[in-house]
Amino acid sequence: GHEPGLPPPSTLRHCRKRVTQTRMLRRLAARSAPLARASAVRAARPPHALRLAAAPLSRSFVSTAAAAAPSSAQPFMLADIGEGIAEVEVLQWFVKPGDTVDQFDRICEVQSDKATVEISSPYVGTIESLEYEVGSIAKVGTPLLHISVDGAGGDAGAEPEQPAPPVAAAAAAPLPVSEPAPAVSEPAAAASPAGDRKVLSTPATRALAKRHKLDLGTVTPTGRGGRVTKQDVLLVLNGSAPVQPAGAAAAAPQPQPAAPSAAAEDRAVPIRGIRKAMFAQMTAANAVPHFNFCDEVRMDALMEVRQQLKQVALDKGLGKFTLMPLIVKATSLALAEFPELNASISEEGSELLVKGSHNIGVAMDTPHGLLVPNIKDVGSLTLLQVAQELSRLQADAAAGKLSIPDLKGGTFTLSNIGNLGGTYTGPVINLPEIAIAGLGKTRPVPRYDEAGALVRQSIMQVSWSADHRVVDGAMMARFSNAWIGYLEKPATMLLTL
């Protein structure tokens, strides 16, 4: 039974059930709006996200859905550019935050210890932030920048911004990566024509200019190939050289006088890029016992042949024909007679690895330091092909565009110090090779001919260095004699071409 005046238990249970249902309906009604807004997000989620969305509803559901919405900005990672390179120095940016880019547009230029590389964009989108400043060291596998990829998010109906012209991208002042860059108007972009061209300079020169907030594009270059030297920057800072106008709308920066004691101060210069590679290479080469051998070459006959071939080479499209292609070809012919000099030593030191191809390297003074690109398989090339490939390598070296394959795989090296005025040298072996030649300047000197008469002859000094662990003096001398024979009597090269 039940107490008088109260409804029966069945009625009470029914009422409690109705109250519970009413409360649930009210809660569901309160949640209906955010559920509708999140429906598109749930539809676009991958399967694992849908499983999470199917979890019981709670107050955190709406905020979780908003946080799970895909972000349009994504990192652009610095990929491994090969040869075990772990870090690069950022030389210059071709973009800035706010710029729009297409696929294959240039993003930045970086320099490793082996080569200079331009990195292009694989995306179409807008640059959100740059993660490294010019002169910073970027690690492989870290983000270079963040980019908002078109179609990855945002208002689909919004009209994309027009790409900023390259002038504005290169000439804009560097901005902190944590702050968005203000929009650059067309007049401001036109006011910075210095960004249209690449300024050639060494890392030390760029660091000096950056420290004094000097735009290298306003410095008159006096170095080789239009290179801005450290002295050029110091002259501008001391007020001894005029500053080129950076543009019609931009005021020329006022040179800051150097402090009287600035020249006497010590400073630390980071060893980076090419110089870092040379440091490691020369340290390793110094552990190799070098054998040195010097001789001289009468160059008169070779110089006459060069004069005969200059016009022929010009007719075939080669702008300049020097003595170096003839010297490179003679080196290949001499290596064919002494193949054990075209070799390297195995890592364990138990074998001499004789190379089949003559990949002859030519040391070059570039804006980024000493590099040794090599001409591949000289033995199979004609003299004209050797000259054309050498011309290409010299042009790429001057522009800082040598590729890693150009610098790898060398088997023998020629270092021409004569173009800088030197006569004698003690060249250091370019490991893993086992021999190198240092070529001096060709000079007119008095010499006795075969009849004993005193005559004027053009003489070039050659200085050989070889790994004395596997090369003895007799082999080096015989090789040198064969090489000199081809140069002094160039007609003999025709017998083996």
Active site (catalytic) residues: 468, 472
Give which of 49, 48, 54 is closest to 67, Cα–Cα. Answer: 49
Instruction: Find the Cα–Cα–Cα–Cα dihedral 444, 449, 452, 453, rounded to 10°.
Output: -50
95, 177 Cβ separation under 8 angstroms: no
CB count, 10 Å around CB of 371? Answer: 24
Q: In angstroms, what CA-CA distances link 462 with 299, 379, 427, 465?
A: 12, 22, 10, 10
113, 273 Cβ separation under 8 angstroms: yes
In this structure, the chain runs to a length of 497
Distance CA 220, CA 36 (A): 64
DSSP 415-477: EE-GGGT-----PPP-TTBSEEEEE---EEEEEE-TTS-EEEEEEEEEEEEEETTT--HHHHH
Label residues 164-192 b or e (16+ Cβ within 10 Å = b): bbbbbbbbbeebebeeebeebeeebbebb
130, 119 Cβ separation under 8 angstroms: no
Distance CA 378, CA 160 (A): 52
Cα-based angle 218, 220, 221 (whole degrees, multiple of 5): 120
Q: In angstroms, what CA-CA distances link 27 with 21, 23, 64, 65, 115?
A: 10, 6, 18, 19, 65
Backbone angles phi, psi at 195, to 5 degrees: -75, -5
- Tokens representing 413? 């090296």
Alpha helices in 258-323 (DSSP H): 273-285, 300-315
- Tokens representing 432? 């893993």
Q: What residues are paired with 126 via a beta bridge?
A: 100, 148
**AA identity, residue 25:** L
250, 188 Cβ separation under 8 angstroms: no
